[in-house]
Structure 1
Amino acid sequence: MKRLTFIFLMSVFSIQAQVVKKEIPADYGYIVKIGQQAPDFSTVSADGKAIQLSDFKGKVVMLQFTASWCGVCRKEMPHIEKDIWQKHKGNPDFALFGIDLDEPLEKVKKFAEQIPVSYSLLLDPEGKIFYSYAEKGAGVTRNVIIDKEGKIVYMTRLYKEEEFNEMKAVIDKLLEN
């Protein structure tokens, strides 16, 4: 039994080592780090559902920080919808939330329709969620990937195709294990 536990733990560490390769530049403006437990939060979705991040432990979670006034967000969101959400939305081990920075409910709903996206957009009044991940004054176009243990494994800033493709590969790898 001890040998099986050891083999299992070694395979988990091997998987994490394969996934976590990226050094996050200081100018990305994050206050969280790769390998740290993701800051918990609770809020409501644009369709009125109560959401608490810790309720999703055991799933791979993607947090996409956004706002309707953000041009880069508008460029990236169709890619998230098509290349990530449509691919994984049926997977019970995956969750994706767009977190809209400090905008009223009606604006968030209209934003989701304009893009359009079908993944849940969450309300972040006063930016409390955003500022538990990023510095004050940091830009919103960013993604955080959280593993099944609730640890941050990957983070992006702005929309860069190479980085976006790396993020998709990280999500795929986490979901295949």
Structure 2
Amino acid sequence: MTKQLLYVLLVAAVCFSCNRAEKKSSIASHNTIQESDARQYLVKVGDPAPDFEMSLPDGKKVRLSDLRGKVVMLQFTASWCGVCRKEMPHIERDIWQNHKDNPQFALFGIDREEPAEKIQVLRDATGVTYPIGMDPDGGIFGLYAEKDAGITRNVIIDREGKIVMLTRLFEEEEFGQMVSLIDRMVNGGSEE
């Protein structure tokens, strides 16, 4: 009876181990999908970036499709977002200041559901000089992520209008990868 019980326990342990390995393999193979789902994006890398038009606080209009031919960075933000306030000075220093004079690059913050006055408060608080447009009803945000999803998020778009990177929150390693990607793309390299 004892040998039989040990045998059953051994078989159960082996099966448990196999199931865990199979589950890990399954998770790894679906990592991109799960990561996208966990981050609540509605788009994924390789998709064409959904087109939109937004107003800047000065009244100027920007249409994403008009930026075709440029490397584009969209940063979804809001004045109440602490992580956004932490990330924005890094975007200013490591991306905007390096590429703002390059006609092959465009960077736009997109302020979610706030009036122009709040955008100026946010710019003053973070010291950023890159343009920030308005998304008063969250409609632009809703093209890229679930309506109730959080921010900060960055979307990097290649010259053909395809999404090449999606970020969520501010993680230094991921941010560094994004900076390197933008530098390569703007300087004529590939996004790989």
| Normalised-by-shorter TM-score class | 0.7 to 0.9
2:180 alignment partner, SS class: helix
CA deviation after TM superposition for structure 1 residue 47, in Å = 2.4
Does the 8 A contact of 2:92 with 2:130 survive in 1?
Answer: yes
Aligned pair count reads: 156
Structure ranking higher on relative contact order (CA contacts 8 Å, 6+ apart): 1
Alpha-carbon RMSD across the aligned residues, in angstroms, is 1.2
TM-score by length of 1: 0.85
Match in the other structure for 1:95? 106
Identical-pair percentage: 60
Match in the other structure for 2:115? 104
Q: Does 1:117 align with 2:131?
A: no
1:23 to 15, 26, 32: 32
Query: What stretches of structure 1 of length at least 5 have no aligned partner?
Result: 1-21
2:175 to 152, 164, 173: 164
CA deviation after TM superposition for structure 1 residue 110, in Å = 1.7
Deviating 4+ runs (over 6 angstroms): none
Q: Does 1:135 align with 2:146?
A: yes
| Rg larger for | 2
Q: Kindly provide the amino acid, as one letter, of the partner of residue 170 in structure 1.
A: L
Query: How far apart in 2 are the matches of 1:23 and 1:60?
Result: 23
The CA deviation string for residues 44-87 of structure 1, in whole angstroms up to 9 with x for no partner, is 11222111000000000000000000000000000000000000
Does the 8 A contact of 2:76 with 2:141 survive in 1?
Answer: yes
Q: Kindly provide the amino acid, as one letter, of the partner of residue 164 in structure 2.
A: V
Q: Kindly provide the amino acid, as one letter, of the partner of residue 23 in structure 1.
A: T
CA deviation after TM superposition for structure 1 residue 114, in Å = 1.6
Q: Kindly provide the amino acid, as one letter, of the partner of residue 147 in structure 2.
A: K
Does the 8 A contact of 2:51 with 2:64 survive in 1?
Answer: yes
Query: How far apart in 2 are the matches of 1:135 and 1:129?
Result: 11
Worse overlay, 77-86 or 105-114: 105-114
